Amino acid sequence: MANVIALAKKYTRLVDEKYQKESLTNDLTSPASLAREGANAKEILYRQVGVSGLGDYSRNSGYTNNSVTVEWKTATFNYDRGTKITLDTMDNEETMGDTYLIAQNSLQTYQVAPEGDAFTFATIAGKEGISVANESGESYANGEEFLAALLKGVTKMDEDQVPAENRILYATPTLLNSVMALDTSKSREVLGKFAKTVAVPQTRFYTKIDLLDGKSSSEEMGGFKKDVAGKDINFMIIHKPAIIKFDKHVVSDAIPPELNADADAYISKYRKYGLVDVFNNKTAGIYISYKAS
């Protein structure tokens, strides 16, 4: 039995490593210390601190008194997804003995990571108050136009006093490659303004998505798809401290055939329960450009 436990732990570690490798938004994950559980199990509380401004200094009475306000805001967990894989022992053995492991890798690479990224981007894009390049949408004919759009976004954040550190640029490979092709000092200077630049395939870069339930007619395959009202995102500039991205519960269990009471088959369960949101007082830390409908 100890060997089974060891294998399960090894499997769980491999699943976690696979997700971290394939996820494009893993850098946005918040430290758990930023939040605490709310009044019920479906909420977390995060602290929002404000202070008043400077006042005139008096040589007689000294400093004016500042006021510090601390508010606890509530955010509700908005992501609860999972699946179970069952594979007969003989099916696994008669297909070179590693089909079970390949299935787990495929789940993380082609389902879990892309859906997690798509949900993150769509949720952030739907936050009221974020900066939008053009409400009607926009497209760029070449790298120069894309570069100009990036500068516009950087300038907007600068004017809104968003700290220059920890800004991450997410953009489609097509747009990033168009800038790389310029090979100019100006393009390198603009891209150098970001702590990190991440290429995001268009297939997981939408302003709105539908999460398929895996049960209903036409949704049996699960996963996600672009919502009919969704738009293709060109790029997003995200100031990491503006984001709440917190996984409260992640399960990646491996059950071997000898512990399966119902069938001679491997079972794998995966579930993620978490939250993606933007701090209400930090919406200026998000800048988005998307295409017209």
Residues ≥6 apart with Cβ < 8 Å to 207: 121, 122, 125, 126, 230, 231, 233, 288, 290
Place of tokens 């512990």: 259
pLDDT-flagged residues of the chain (< 50) = 1-5
Looking at residue 202, what is its pLDDT? Answer: 97
What pLDDT score was predicted for residue 198?
97
pLDDT confidence of residue 227 = 97
> Looking at residue 5, what is its pLDDT?
46
How many residues does this entry show for the chain?
293
**pLDDT score at 176:** 95
Distance CA 250, CA 109 (A): 16
Q: What is the pLDDT of residue 181?
A: 80
Query: Taking the model in full, what pTM does it have?
Result: 0.86
Contacts of 185 (CB under 8 A, 6+ apart): none
Write down the pLDDT at residue 251. 81
For the chain, list the domains and their CATH numbers: 2-39+77-290 (3.90.1690)
